[in-house]
Structure 1
């Protein structure tokens, strides 16, 4: 067991060694994150062909006071046909959700499930090291791209299995918009008044403005926005300068889609998270504030720890949800009357299915943060908690007297976690929402192959990946606290998630190569009754075969007979719980909502 009293670490994994092997799409991200967390550069245990075939990654971290911890990560369970990034996206429903904007399943050109798998793997390693340090034993974590993909679509899956339909139609359509000078841009506002004022300033038809608000408002939930074509026609008749003025006067925001080359030119190379221990450079244990003792190891590696979460939408609630799955007790801070999103349609047993996907199992305390007395109650709760996690608007915590320094006075051992949009790294950045960050960082280009217009995905890619980064940051902060005896502020962001997702594309920019994948990359093949997705390595050969008249099983058999790997594309998420590729991976919760199992297992 580690001895926190004798270890003084500036970063969570200082003085540790790592060994990495496995599929490059997963292993490269794992190695990079472990190194950024302080471990010595990863030693590669074995070389694996690229692209790999159903490869399993193996990762080890340990050293100093810590015994080595081993982790494994795979594409999918043997025999399921999930053998690489393309088949993982196809099977788990990622292609279906991402393709809603265009009306047909479409693969993300970026390695999304592999990236999520890598972050989950690092989470598992950090959690196992924490369990070892807290005396709950060392266990070996395992995860896979199939689990990562299901987690990524868990909100859409829950909604598909709800008692009622979506709040807005699921049909093709959505941003980005195009100006008269040919510039692609994203539009963002959370205020219906600002939405209406923006379009009035551009002389848009009133009926189209009214009809467009609801699909625009719920595009986070539906992954599409079928608003009237008249709105696109309006922007095509206005220059970007006119559109910007309309945004400035209305309170809406626009963001021009940046290229990957532009992002590469401005990138600062900062890690996706930051750690600032309380008390400057001093790492002595604070008298009178001992770290909490671990209970007997019955639950997960975080059993006995308490997380206070004041989150909204996806990013922070997902981060806290994962901490809860690792054994922590999660207490949500909700406004008087409860979180209004509890009633957001569609519902299961009267509770929002999408809300349940992120918040089931959490306790709730209603606190009015506008009230001085209630802010005092929150400080009292934080005084006995291990983690305080929020994603309030920038500057709001300091304005309320609830910033890291404020809560550290009551609890110097607290891990104070902020999951934001930009991490103060982009000057003049727009609103820090998923789609605006995608637009600003070149993600809209990275997720589309060459020859297709750039377009941010309407699947909440960065909110989910940002939530995963938030969990990773909290676990690293808890480990740093264990090693130093001091509390720490940890920050993560959607910007950091975007940089992780686009790292391979940005590296191609740096080598002078085309950062985008080839035209037609990860394009599913139509069958007589559905779609199939070949593995990336086999896609050219598979595309040469005509399977359009064959039922899906026969199309898959044809490819298999030629030695080509492929799997059926999930098009209806409501059927996933019956899919034999995910036997035991999806169940119904107490409200009847579909729920995915934990993304890791510990042996």
Structure 2
């Protein structure tokens, strides 16, 4: 351990201070998270936009025995024409993916890219400090929102560029469902038998029930669910209590969509993660074996043991690997079944590769006592154990933080969950259920539109980013205190980070939603264009449907308005001049997006 251990327990950034400047969209979340991690805010400089300067964000961290750490945050390369949330959503394909359930591109009415960029910025700052604590030199961090956007769609981009087509239809449709009283609700089950039992209890047509399961099951991967309209008709014929009984009897779950006002009344302002120091080390332990850290790879020499499913934990580990850590992935006997999920590249799922390329894999049957002992042996040599198992599963298996601390007191034990035990009446902790329960379904659509959780996995991705942030904070806290750490992050924390501005408006009694038509792209003769948020109000007089996209952009530009073409075919991002050389191919031939930050 290269960095002197402090004598008192501290938060990761205790005794440090920070200064921010630039657009609040890019810096406000950064500032809040730095404060929650223990840093003190110095007097902020003025907004670059307000001062007529380059609209980029700048953050500086000083103190605590570290060399100053700086970060520059920008929307995109200045030559790209991407200047804000709306244009970045349009160019990176987010509008196209989010719009699949509706049949046309549409923007998210929340600042999703800016939020993801802010969390990535905090990650980079923590990683740079951790590298210093481990003996590397100071690093300068740069983060671009367009790269954060590409990361957010990386699974969809990988599928679009695979060797084969999707195994299920990409067409409009999907939840939420509506009861006879007009109540909107989400349905969730991972079990086809529970799906069938739920619909049988409501007397749904057998053919509709069977036809609906596959698109419902794959909606996480495709961002749409074109199941038969008959299923919507069935729920509209039954009152909500009857629907709830059918769900309870079948093993499925329903969650009524909550409003932002309802979430604001119960939100307690908690941090999106929790860090709990464990046993103090004796001084005999060693960690961070192997390769020496550098400013570019501050986690080199550290080992992350990941037992992750789907997106949240695998993405968190993927980012730790990009920062230099060795990732050992725990998979069931026979390997992760998602490796074969279509479409594939060289026989391996393109979506799986987007989150798991470069990881080592070890097959372990956690139900077998002998394999659990083997897992404990691996944990004894690791720096981080990261998982997103179902609540209570780790404790049941004897693999919780307190179970592993005796074999590795220096371990950073990380759990990325749905709810972090923060809500008493929480449903199943999946992306769409958390969106429904926390008001995200209302936040992502502007005023005048029925709430609907996005079928793009917004919270799984943002939850994974929060998981990486929490692990880095835990590793830095270990360096500064000489104690192992348990860190908990959740989809709930990600939802609250994303909707915080809307929740503030709701708590103040104002309209929490964005105005009607907000971030709706404009159709052209051959595609769509998206104006910047600042230019959008002035584009209402223009009908661009008879103009090509190129001519429409030229017309708006002549009027002094900023806009960009909406990416509708994600496979075209390989050659998009707004991202020159950004999208590459991995060893399997699968599309790969660039690192979301640069540390030099």
Q: Tell me whether the two structures share a fold, i.e. TM-score over 0.5.
A: yes
The answer to whether the aligner puts 1:391 opposite 2:393 as a matched pair is no
The one of 378, 381, 384 aligned to 2:378: 381
The one of 458, 472, 485 aligned to 1:488: 485
Aligned equivalents of 2:137, 2:53: Cα separation in 1: 33
Q: Is the 8 A contact 1:54 1:84 kept in 2?
A: no
Aligned equivalents of 1:53, 1:584: Cα separation in 2: 28
Q: Deviations over 1:511-539 (max 9, x none)?
A: 22100000000000001110000000100
Question: How much has 1:293 moved relative to structure 2?
Answer: 5.6
**Are residues 398 and 570 of structure 1, via their aligned partners in 2, closer, same or farther at CA, if it must alter by over 3 Å?**
same
Aligned equivalents of 1:225, 1:50: Cα separation in 2: 43
Q: Is the 8 A contact 2:289 2:302 kept in 1?
A: no
Aligned equivalents of 1:580, 1:292: Cα separation in 2: 41
The answer to whether the aligner puts 1:272 opposite 2:269 as a matched pair is no
Question: How much has 1:23 moved relative to structure 2?
Answer: 1.6
Please give the secondary structure, in 1, of the residue aligned with 2:288: coil
The answer to whether the aligner puts 1:58 opposite 2:58 as a matched pair is yes
Aligned equivalents of 2:528, 2:329: Cα separation in 1: 41
Please give the secondary structure, in 2, of the residue aligned with 1:26: helix
Please give the secondary structure, in 1, of the residue aligned with 2:115: helix
Q: Deviations over 1:109-156 (max 9, x none)?
A: 000000000000000000000111111211111111100100000000
The residue number in structure 2 matching 1:321 is 318
Please give the secondary structure, in 2, of the residue aligned with 1:580: coil
Aligned equivalents of 1:557, 1:372: Cα separation in 2: 67
Please give the secondary structure, in 2, of the residue aligned with 1:70: strand
Aligned equivalents of 1:361, 1:129: Cα separation in 2: 25
Please give the secondary structure, in 1, of the residue aligned with 2:382: coil
The answer to whether the aligner puts 1:287 opposite 2:283 as a matched pair is yes
The answer to whether the aligner puts 1:359 opposite 2:387 as a matched pair is no
Aligned equivalents of 2:596, 2:353: Cα separation in 1: 17
The residue number in structure 2 matching 1:296 is 292
**Are residues 411 and 427 of structure 1, via their aligned partners in 2, closer, same or farther at CA, if it must alter by over 3 Å?**
same
**Are residues 312 and 207 of structure 1, via their aligned partners in 2, closer, same or farther at CA, if it must alter by over 3 Å?**
same
My pick for the range that moved more, 549-558 or 34-43, is: 34-43
In structure 2, stretches of 5+ residues that fail to align are none
Q: Please show how residues 238-277 of structure 1 align to structure 2 within 5 Å.
A: 238-277=238-277
Q: Deviations over 1:375-400 (max 9, x none)?
A: 00110011010000000000000000
Q: Please show how residues 98-117 of structure 1 align to structure 2 within 5 Å.
A: 98-117=98-117
Q: Please show how residues 359-438 of structure 1 align to structure 2 within 5 Å.
A: 359-438=356-435
The answer to whether the aligner puts 1:568 opposite 2:562 as a matched pair is no
In structure 1, stretches of 5+ residues that fail to align are none
Q: Deviations over 1:359-378 (max 9, x none)?
A: 00000000110111110011
Aligned equivalents of 2:99, 2:592: Cα separation in 1: 22
The residue number in structure 1 matching 2:472 is 475
Aligned equivalents of 2:586, 2:420: Cα separation in 1: 35
Q: Is the 8 A contact 2:293 2:299 kept in 1?
A: no
Question: How much has 1:52 moved relative to structure 2?
Answer: 8.8
My pick for the range that moved more, 407-416 or 50-59, is: 50-59
The residue number in structure 2 matching 1:525 is 522
Q: Please show how residues 113-152 of structure 1 align to structure 2 within 5 Å.
A: 113-152=113-152
Please give the secondary structure, in 1, of the residue aligned with 2:143: strand
Q: Is the 8 A contact 1:134 1:293 kept in 2?
A: no
Aligned equivalents of 2:203, 2:113: Cα separation in 1: 42
The residue number in structure 2 matching 1:459 is 456
The alignment's TM-score, normalised by the length of structure 1, stands at 0.97
The answer to whether the aligner puts 1:189 opposite 2:204 as a matched pair is no
The answer to whether the aligner puts 1:33 opposite 2:29 as a matched pair is no
Question: How much has 1:48 moved relative to structure 2?
Answer: 3.5
**Are residues 584 and 54 of structure 1, via their aligned partners in 2, closer, same or farther at CA, if it must alter by over 3 Å?**
farther
Aligned equivalents of 2:250, 2:244: Cα separation in 1: 10
Please give the secondary structure, in 2, of the residue aligned with 1:204: coil
The residue number in structure 2 matching 1:501 is 498
Please give the secondary structure, in 2, of the residue aligned with 1:296: coil
**Are residues 538 and 7 of structure 1, via their aligned partners in 2, closer, same or farther at CA, if it must alter by over 3 Å?**
farther
Question: How much has 1:334 moved relative to structure 2?
Answer: 0.4
Structure 1 stretches of 4+ moved >6 Å: 50-54
My pick for the range that moved more, 510-519 or 110-119, is: 510-519
Aligned equivalents of 1:564, 1:166: Cα separation in 2: 38
My pick for the range that moved more, 327-336 or 53-62, is: 53-62
Q: Deviations over 1:224-252 (max 9, x none)?
A: 00000000000001000000000000000
**Are residues 51 and 405 of structure 1, via their aligned partners in 2, closer, same or farther at CA, if it must alter by over 3 Å?**
farther
Please give the secondary structure, in 2, of the residue aligned with 1:331: strand
Q: Deviations over 1:239-293 (max 9, x none)?
A: 00000000000000000000000000011211000001113xxx5x423213436
Please give the secondary structure, in 1, of the residue aligned with 2:449: coil
Aligned equivalents of 1:187, 1:53: Cα separation in 2: 48
Question: How much has 1:5 moved relative to structure 2?
Answer: 2.2
Question: How much has 1:92 moved relative to structure 2?
Answer: 0.2
Question: How much has 1:506 moved relative to structure 2?
Answer: 0.4
Please give the secondary structure, in 2, of the residue aligned with 1:31: helix
CA RMSD of aligned residues (A): 1.4
The residue number in structure 2 matching 1:208 is 208
The one of 542, 555, 559 aligned to 1:558: 555
Question: How much has 1:41 moved relative to structure 2?
Answer: 2.8
Please give the secondary structure, in 2, of the residue aligned with 1:582: coil
The alignment's TM-score, normalised by the length of structure 2, stands at 0.98
